[in-house]
Amino acid sequence: MTDAEIGWVAGIVDGEGCILIENATSRFRGRDYPGLRLCLRVGNTDPRLILKLEALFGGGHVRRMPGRNRRRALFTWNVSSRRAADVVRLIFPHLVIKREQAELALAFAKTLRPRGGRGRLSAQTVEQRQWLRRQLMTLHQKAPEIQDASL
């Protein structure tokens, strides 16, 4: 992937994307285990943008949501867990608007189990993940502070 493409993806995530930590339930041996997962989501009414992201990063979950009340259909690209962390890590140096959210996402990524890892997370790790989620939710609701009075 070129530096130009990485910068382009960062701009798309800054303007059209969402970095979040969401509730997730996993099933193992017939039991549900509640937890949290890191997600990166981009939505746009033009499927070419979404297909380009899929071509650059593979996989992900591409979905078309029908338009309502005369609105156009929305296409979304989603990646979660390690793949989301990998994308955020790659674009991080270029992020402007979502930089603080990306910092929290990368802190959450450090709490992920090794590939193939099983077992319970420690109470400390669960609390840290929940704290990171609350901080991220706060950033989603907070208006940006403008430093330059001429803006």
Q: Is residue 24 domain-resident? A: yes
Cβ–Cβ under 8 Å, residues 47 and 6: no
Q: Is residue 108 domain-resident? A: yes
Local structure of residue 17 (DSSP, 8 states): E
> What is d(CA 107, CA 104) in angstroms, rounded to the nearest whole number?
5
> What is d(CA 41, CA 57) in angstroms, rounded to the nearest whole number?
13
Q: Is residue 61 domain-resident? A: yes
Q: 69-111 pLDDT, tens per residue?
A: 767 778 889 999 999 999 999 999 999 999 999 999 999 999 9
CA-based nearest residue to 13, from 82, 68, 73, 89: 89
Q: Which domain holds residue 63?
A: 3-141
pLDDT, residue 133, reads 94
Cβ–Cβ under 8 Å, residues 109 and 31: no
pLDDT (mean) for 121-149: 85
Q: 12-66 pLDDT, tens per residue?
A: 999 999 999 998 866 556 665 568 999 999 999 898 999 999 999 976 666 776 6
Q: Is residue 89 domain-resident? A: yes
pLDDT, residue 31, reads 62
Q: Indicate the number of domains in the chain.
A: 1
- Name the pTM for this structure: 0.84
CATH number at residue 17: 3.10.28.10
